[in-house]
Amino acid sequence: MGGPEARRLAAAAATARRLIRAMATAHVIGAGLAGLAAAVRLAAAGWRVRVWEAAPRAGGRCRSFDDPVLGCAIDNGNHLLLSANRAVRRYLTELGAADRLDGPPVAAFPFLDLATGARWTVRPARGAVPWWLAVPGRRVAGTRLADYLDVLRLVAARPGDRVIDRVDPAGRLFRRFWEPLTLAVMNAPPGVAAAAPLRTVFLETFARGAAACRPLIARDGLGPALIDPGLAWLDRAGAAITLGRRIRTLTFADGAGSGAPRVAGFACAHDTTTLGPDDRLVLAVPPAVAAGLVPGLEVPGDGAPIVNGHFRLDPALAPAVATPSLLGLVGGTAQWLFRRGALASVTVSAASALADQPADAVAAALWRDVAVALGRPGAAMPPVRIVKERRATFHQTPENQARRPRATTAWRNLRLAGDWTATGLPATLEGAVRSGWTAAAR
């Protein structure tokens, strides 16, 4: 079975696949991070690739833009990556853009309790053995070693569990660790967030020690770090990228004669594209859009908002206290503070109530927290831009986890990609890249 003849047949089959790819086209609908990850993988495998995007620019929810109020480029949202995000890091390495992520040389997560003024830094040890929990100066302030038994309960989470079912809401660790971690990772409070995806993130990061959870931040913004390199690579590979073209319908064939149904084509407002017998289609669009295009597709719903505030600091408003580039905030409105040069950006996840407030009221609430974090309480608010991403992620409850579809579909040439598909991860940048790779796989 493993002799020369078997190897010859395998080589012939591989050659045939390469020829088919060279003659066929892989269409990717959606130029967000998942779509670009799929397109790059397909082009690298020898496919002719064409990317279609409804918006006038690529990036989806992972984009940067020049803001005239602030006079600089900002991101639509703040995203924290970790050194354990191997898919994102490999994606950038393959694009020759690994240097677009930056961060501290060690894993350290500083926090400030806005209500009490307490400051502490979580410092995991280098290896997987969690000896650092026995050192008060390395763990969450005010906690005891016994409080971390919640970790064992989280690791034992079942598919239908919420985070609140696995950790103690009355425990010392809840307000200063589990709640901010859940909000940041799941974009949902512990009372409704599914426990299983959070467990996966915890096992891939903190459970592996400092080497797996060093913070990484897009040095020049999300667009320059994650989107522009992908577009440039695809351009060099000869891929066609069409922007401002919304795909409105898919047409399907019953597969008569071939035994398997397939997507026969798709149409936008003014033209139609017919798929050849060996062409492929990757649908990398938001879940509601995918459900409108694919009959009978069940998707997770109830988009959850994230609100971001970007403040352009005047040089005279230098921090009165040492302020790291990343600071976790508890006890206030803002949850995470990111500093990059003169720009101070804050994020509020699971922000349904905040998203419905006027921008000026949101800005005032967020600036109060930022001013305290900078050691400048009561300082006048600088120029600000509030960005409300009303459907930043799907609502990541246990019920919606069960509705996440696999990449493969009933149509042999149609695959799904997006952080809302069944990646096993929360709706994150890492999940988006992995979903694109899965959709591009043979």
- Structural domains present in the chain: 4-62+223-300+397-440 (3.50.50.60), 109-213 (no CATH)
Question: Taking a C-beta distance cutoff of 8 angstroms, is the pair 76, 187 a contact?
Answer: no
> CA of 85: how far to CAs of 118, 204, 336, 358, 391, in Å?
30, 8, 19, 35, 23
Question: Taking a C-beta distance cutoff of 8 angstroms, is the pair 110, 326 a contact?
Answer: yes
- Give residue for tokens 């070693």: 145
Percentage of the chain beyond pLDDT 70 is 92
The per-residue pLDDT for range 308-328, each reduced to its tens digit, is: 999 999 876 655 555 668 999
pLDDT score of 16 more than 50:
no
What is the pLDDT, as a whole number, of residue 104? 84
Nearest residue to 183 via CA among 367, 352, 434: 352
Question: Taking a C-beta distance cutoff of 8 angstroms, is the pair 385, 257 a contact?
Answer: no
Nearest residue to 25 via CA among 45, 50, 1: 50
Beta strands in 325-372 (DSSP E): 326-330, 336-340, 343-349
Question: Taking a C-beta distance cutoff of 8 angstroms, is the pair 109, 214 a contact?
Answer: no
Angle between helices 429-440 and 86-94 (to 10 degrees): 60
In which band, very low, low, confident or very high, does the pLDDT at 260 lie, cut at 50, 70 and 90? confident
C-alpha to C-alpha distance for 159 and 176, rounded to whole angstroms: 25
pLDDT score of 1 more than 60:
no
CA atoms within 13 A on the CB side of 231: 18
Element counts in the chain: helices (H) and strands (E): 15, 20
17, amino acid identity: R
The per-residue pLDDT for range 376-427, each reduced to its tens digit, is: 898 999 999 999 999 999 999 999 999 999 999 999 999 999 999 999 999 9
If one compares 69 and 22, the residue with the highest pLDDT of the two is: 69
> Of the given ranges (60-64, 258-262, 370-374), which has the lowest mean pLDDT?
258-262
In which band, very low, low, confident or very high, does the pLDDT at 126 lie, cut at 50, 70 and 90? confident
Report the mean per-residue pLDDT for the chain. Answer: 91
State the DSSP string of 160-180: T-BHHHHS-TTSHHIIIIIHH
If one compares 128 and 404, the residue with the highest pLDDT of the two is: 404
Helix (H, G, I), strand (E, B) or coil at 7: helix
With residue 39 as reference, give the H or E element that holds it: helix 33-44
**Main-chain phi, psi angles of 94, to 5 degrees:** -65, -25
The per-residue pLDDT for range 55-76, each reduced to its tens digit, is: 999 999 898 999 999 999 999 8
